Each structure stands twice: as C-alpha cells, then as structure tokens.
Structure 1
Amino acid sequence: MSTQPDAALAASTPLSGLSFSKGHGTGNDFLLLADPDGSIELGVEEVTAACDRHRGLGADGLIRAVPSSLVPEGRALLQNNPEAEWFMDYRNGDGSVSEMCGNGVRVFVHFLIDRGLLSLDEGAAAAVGTRGGIKVIERSPDGYSVDMGPWEFIHPEKAAARAMDALVEADGLEVPRPGLSISMGNPHTVVALAEIAELDATSLSAAPRVDPVPPNGTNVEFVVPDDPLVHDGIGQVTMRVHERGVGETLSCGTGACAAAVATRYWAGADAPDHWAVSVPGGQVGVQFHVGPDGREHVHLSGPAVLIASGTFA
C-alpha cells in the first residue's frame, strides 16, 4: 500500500521520501520507521502531523527503530546488554517522548522481523533497548510475550498502608475514586469500578484528574474485576485507559500490566499469577514470575499485526 499524507505534512517534515509501516497490538496503533544509520530527526511537529487521524496517517504513537549504539540511551544499555542491538525510540501521538509501550514493543519486534533487521524463530527470544530499560521478547505461535521487568509502587508508603495513593476524577463519575499508582517503567494510576455499566459511562475524552499526580504525569486505567474474579485459575478484568499524551486508546500494554498488578494486590495473597485483561481492542495476557534479579516481573502476551506500508510524500 502506498499512502500520500496531507500536503501540509509533506511540506513541513523531514520524513518525505521515507518508507513506513503501520501496525497495531489489540487496536493500539503505531507508525514505524527503520533508521539503521540514525539519520532521522524527529520533532514534535513531525510526529503530531504524522499521527494526526484527519490530516496525517493516524496513530497512537510513532516508533523509530534505530541501532542502540547510535543513541545515548541505547549506548548506556549496551554496556551490560550487548545483545540489545536495536533501540525502540517511542513517541506519543502528541510528539512527547515516552519510556516505552507494551503493545508497541511487540509490534516493534514484528516490524524488525518483517524488515529483515532481526531473525527470531518461534520459541526464541530477543532483547531490545527502550527508555524503560532492556525488554526481552519471545516469539510465540499467536504473537509475542514480553518480559516487562519488575513493577513498583510509585508511592510505596501510601500503597502499603491504604491500598491507594490518589484520588481520581473523571467525567461521568459522580464522585472522585481512589486509585493506586504503579510503575511499569512508565507511570499508571489504576481505579477499580463496580460494574461494566459504570465503566461504559465514564468519559475519557478529557484526561482524568489525579491528585496527587506522579511527577511525570500518569496513564489512568479504569478496571472492573469479573464476578467471580477467577475463572479456571486465571484472574479476569475489563479495562479502559486514558494514555498520557494520547487520550483514550483501544489498548495499553503497560496499562494492562498495571491493572493486573493493582487488582491482584487488592485481591490478597490467594490471587492468581495469571490474568486475562479485556480491552476495547481485544485481550492480552499478564503473568507474574520471579525474574533473574530476584524481583517479581510481569510478562505481557498478545498479538502484533502490520496492516500497511508506504512512503511519505
């Protein structure tokens, strides 16, 4: 597929003539660029124009695949992880730089394979660099599984005492709701709701108001646990998300992990280690395990799809 973006975009961007792909993970969609020599310069205007859904190509974010050795953040990671050849330079749809994206990293690896930049057999794993650290991705029959690394409470002293650390307001909710802030390498605040009707009535056209907001802002997840919570040993929740710098998206990988972390914490010691998180764009799997560093890590699994490729006019 060859796509001709808006003339205003073509006239104002250094992306002209570059090839791109578009992909998604459970509806969370991205534009992807290969930059093997590190020559592409991305500014806020270029990213927002490309991701604009009316005058550009449309996407929740833009991902540049660049050798780790050619960017400062990547070079720092290579010191202890020389196998992480490729770096995921991720920008939100508003042009802001983000630490990483759980759905995006699956699509990123799928893009590298499609472009012949990475070879990865089914069952094999590869390491990539992100601003959220090294991520190890395993290829599976139905997609990819990513070791997202350890999770952390953003305000551990408050979370341990009260199982919440913030109050969250959103249009459609009559009163502020308690939230729990989780770091998955990027910040999240998770709010539990009682039923699907309440989730459906919550408007995410404007960013929820979080007090106190984490230092670098936060993504906000509203979750409804199933009743009963556990089916065949798997915890089940339904989630909607407002992503920092983007707005409501059909899915958020790190957000699904944070939702599972918070719900599991609220459920207590008998809560399972396997979770299914339903989002408007589909379903992803979340699994907890002890990592090589002795800390509890989170694995995220789900599909990755490339839907189109073309050239910027």
Structure 2
Amino acid sequence: MAHSLPFTKGHGTGNDFVIVADPDGELALTDDQVAVLCDRRFGVGGDGILRVVRSRAIPEGADAAAAGAEWFMDYRNADGSAAEMCGNGIRVFARYLTEYGLAEIGTAPVGIGTRAGVKSLTRTPDGFEVDLGAWTVDESDLLVQARGLSVARPGLGIDVGNPHAVVALSGDEELTGLDLAYQPVLHPAPPHGANVEFVVPADPLVRAGVGAIRMRVFERGVGETLSCGTGVAAAALAVRHWAGAAAPDDWEVEVPGGTLRVRMRDGRVLLAGPATLVYTGELTLA
C-alpha cells in the first residue's frame, strides 16, 4: 500500500542525506526502499538516510534512552545497510533537530543516540562539533588495492565507532589519479567491511600548530562520496600516528566537498564543520 512520506534533503560538506522524521518509530523502510530513495536517478538521491526517531521507540536505542538521549540517529547507507555511525550525518541530524524545534543545541553538549553509542554535540560558528569518543589503531598487516595504483599499498586500521582503512599516497597526482568508481580491495578483508581513505599530507604538514591533509574516500555500502566525517577523523588520526609524538592534536582535512576540522583531546577525537538543510518535499512510497 502506497503512502505519503515527507522528507528533507541535507548535507555536510557534500556528503548528502535524505532525512525522514519518524519520532514514534512507526516507519519500517526496507533495504530496497532505502536504495530507491537514495538513487540519484530514480529517487531523491543521497549517500544515505537519516531516520529521526526517539531513542525509546527503536530497539537499538534502549541504552541511549537510559543515558538520557531523547533522539536516535537511525543511519542507513545508500544500499539500505545499517551503519554504526556517520560524522557528517550526525551534524546534519543536529541541524534538523534545531531547525524544527526538536532540541536546543548550544555550547552545552547534547547527546544523540547512534549504533556506536551516544555522541555529544555542541554548536560552532559554522555548524556543529561532535565528540566521536575514543579510537583504536590496528597495525595488523593490511594491503589495499585500488584502480589507479600500480601496486597494493599498506593501510592502517582506525576505528572511530566504525571501521576505516587509511592509505598514504605520495602526492596529489596519485590522489587525483585514483578511479574510485571501483571498490578498493582489502587484504585481508575485514569481517564487516571498512571505509577506505586515501590521504596526502600538505607541504608543509604543519602550519601554525595545525596539521593539514587532503583526502578522498570510498564508503562501504555507498561508493566514493564528497566527504566522510568519520573518515576525516580516521585520516587525521592515521597521519598523526605516522608522524609520531611531535605531531599536533589539531587538524584541517580537505575533502572534495570542503574542509572539516579535527581535534584530539584526552584520548577522544572531535569533528567539526558545517551542516546544511537544502530543501523539503513529499513523495509517495510504494
């Protein structure tokens, strides 16, 4: 049975999302429906879907509700698969909550539930900053093959609530020469897949105490995107790890869709940048 579905389109540095409000958890989107909504030719188009639901109204939100987080970000990739976390998505989610009067987010942190736990957000002059929490580094042997690279390159595993493999390239020529229309292949393959980030350090790497890198990303379940918030954090963490003890704790990361800021504080990583709502609409969902 077809029914009407209001939606909002939003993005964070070009990483775009279809946002649907379902406060009481009454909407059950199938993987195929999500894929159609995210299709750029046959649907609205987006890298994923953000379902705005109260934590108490979704089984995965029980812990978030107990921790006092009213809202839960039910994030689905463009292929319909559920994802643990989305750094750009949660800032767009916060923008939606504030624009529609569902929450007030200012200088005091506000918790939002995700499959990677409750994430705290604060407002910044250009958007929002999210505390992604602690991270882990996996230095196990990992090789990454990608079209445009003549040989497989070593990758560094970084987990910031979801899994990433970060690959250092020699320069801008290699970065622009990548063909990310094809999914990179990881050896060994992570059990749940991983987002893959390709990074090039700036020259000089550090300016006025702030590190700088450029990045492109292939997101699992999506493909190449203009930006990936958790991927930006993972890339900065990887370059900081490689650079050693003298590396800075503040970074600027340039992605095709813009620039995001990353801070490391007391064993936690924070991501900041813009979040924009573009338009609203209504469609008939079969």
| TM-score interval for Structure 1 and Structure 2 normalised by the shorter chain | over 0.9
Deviations 1:59-94 (A, max 9, x none): 000010100001111112333x12x00000000001
1:265 aligns with 2:250: no
Structure 1 residues 199-278: aligned runs within 5 Å: 199-278=175-254
Aligned residue pairs: how many?
284
Q: CA deviation at 1:280?
A: 0.1
Residues 85 and 128, structure 1, Cα contact 8 Å, conserved in 2: yes
SS in 2 for 1:182: strand
Structure 2 gaps of 5+ residues are: none
The residue aligned with 2:149 is 173
Which residue in 2 is equivalent to 1:9?
none
Q: What secondary structure is seen at the aligned counterpart in 2 of 1:104?
A: helix
Corresponding residue number in structure 2 for 1:57:
44
How far has the Cα of 1:263 moved from its partner? 0.2
Letter in 1 for 2:270: H
Choose which of 8, 12, 16 in structure 2 pairs with 1:29.
Answer: 16
Q: Does 1:303 align with 2:244?
A: no
1:137 maps onto 2:121 in alignment: yes
Matched letter for residue 44 of structure 2: L
Q: How much is the aligned-residue C-alpha RMSD, in angstroms?
A: 1.1
Taking structure 2 as the reference length, the TM-score comes to 0.97
2:163 aligned residue: 187
Partner of residue 81, structure 2:
96
Q: CA deviation at 1:119?
A: 1.9
Contact 1:165 1:181 in 2 (8 A): no
Instruction: Give, as a single letter, the amino acid of the residue that structure 2 aligns with 1:184.
Output: V
The whole-number CA distance in structure 2 between the counterparts of 1:138 and 1:182 is: 24
Match of 1:66 in 2: 53
Q: CA deviation at 1:214?
A: 1.7
Provide the residue aligned with 2:93 in structure 1.
Answer: 108
> Could you say which structure has the higher strand fraction?
2
Structure 1 residue 17 displacement after superposition:
1.2
User: TM-score, length-normalised on structure 1?
Assistant: 0.89
CA deviations over 1:249-277 (Å, ceiling 9, x no partner) = 00000000000010000000000000000
Contact 2:64 2:72 in 1 (8 A): no
- Give distance in 2, aligned partners of 1:179 and 1:130: 27
Q: Shift of the alpha carbon at 1:193?
A: 0.3
Equivalent of 1:289, from 233, 245, 265?
Answer: 265
Aligned-partner residue type, residue 191 of structure 2: P
CA distance in 1 between counterparts of 2:63 and 2:277 reads 30
AA of the residue aligned to 1:188: H
Alignment partners' CA distance in 2, 1:170 and 1:128: 35
Q: Percent identity?
A: 54
Give, in angstroms, the shift of residue 298 of structure 1: 0.3
Residue in 2 that maps onto 1:312: 283
> Which of 125, 128, 151 is the matching residue for 2:109?
125
Runs of 4+ that moved beyond 2 A? 76-79
Q: Post-superposition shift, 1:228?
A: 1.3
Distance 2:167 2:109 in 1: 33
Q: Which whole-Å CA distance do the structure 2 matches of 1:191 and 1:38 have between them?
A: 39
1:214-236 CA-to-partner distances (Å, cap 9, x unmatched) read 21101000000012110111000
8 Å Cα contact 2:105-2:121 kept in structure 1: no
